[in-house]
Structure 1
Amino acid sequence: MNIAFFLIPKKEVVYLPIQSTMRQALEKMEYHRYSAVPLLDQEGKYVTTLTEGDLLWKLKNTPNLNFHNTENIRLTEIPFHRKNEPISIQAEMEHIITRAMEQNFVPVTDDKGIFIGIIRRREIIEYCASQMFAPAAN
């Protein structure tokens, strides 16, 4: 099954430009209650996924950094601890199951690398369950 069926389009996805500040990320993630969001460059290409852990490690490892001065830290200054590779819209569902085991969502790009949306772990699990419990063909 093609993954386009499960795609949540970019216009419905919370994401941030890589040029955003740490404070903007903290506030957006808190508002939407997300633990991770995709980061995009100026051309709309997927760069990486920012996680709460990335933000916490930056706070912990930066002397005198507190919530109020996070507006001075660009996301480009934050070390990312995981690289969530995107998958092409041309991929088949079976190719992304292993990725979903390690991340809440899988970023999806078009043939030019432009971010077009995500597939959430929930939809992947629902697909797998439907395959496992589907009635056997006679």
Structure 2
Amino acid sequence: MNIAFFLLPKKEVICLHAESTIRQAMEKMEYHRYTAVPVIDEKGHYIKTITEGDLLWKIKNTEGLSFQNSEHHYIKDIMVNRDYQPVHIDAEMEDLMSLVAVQNFVPVVDDNEVFIGIIRRMDIIHYLSK
């Protein structure tokens, strides 16, 4: 089976840009009720996935950083605790399954490493349960 069957396209995915601020990230994640969001650069390449935990650790470990001044700190400067590995759109299901076992979603990139969407673990589970 082609993994594209499970693809949620980029236009339907909430993303952050590397130049987004911590405050923008927190507000977007709160509004959409997400705990993790893909981060892309200005050319649309997938960079990393930022989680609530990454944001909390950054705030805890950065002296003087608070929600009130978080608009002066950028997502690109945050180290992530866990690396959400992407797959290429032509990847095999076996590659996808090993990642979906440990990630809530798997970022998908094209041949130029441009982010094109995600595959959600819940969609795979739902499909397999039928």
Question: TM class, shorter-chain normalised?
Answer: over 0.9
TM-score (norm 1): 0.90
Hey, what does 2:88 align to over in structure 1?
A: 88
Aligned to 2:50, the other structure's residue is in SS state strand
Aligned to 1:64, the other structure's residue is in SS state coil
Aligned to 2:37, the other structure's residue is in SS state strand
Aligned to 1:82, the other structure's residue is in SS state coil
RMSD in angstroms over aligned alpha carbons? 1.0
Return the letter of the residue paired with 1:35.
T
Hey, what does 1:65 align to over in structure 2?
A: 65
Hey, what does 2:79 align to over in structure 1?
A: 79
Any residues of structure 2 matched to 1:1-138 within 5 Å, and which?
1-130=1-130
How far, CA to CA, are the matches of 2:2 and 2:91 in structure 1? 7
Identity %: 57
Unmatched 5+ stretches in structure 2: none
Unmatched 5+ stretches in structure 1: 131-138
Aligned residue pairs: how many? 130
User: Rg: which structure is higher?
Assistant: 1
TM-score (norm 2): 0.95
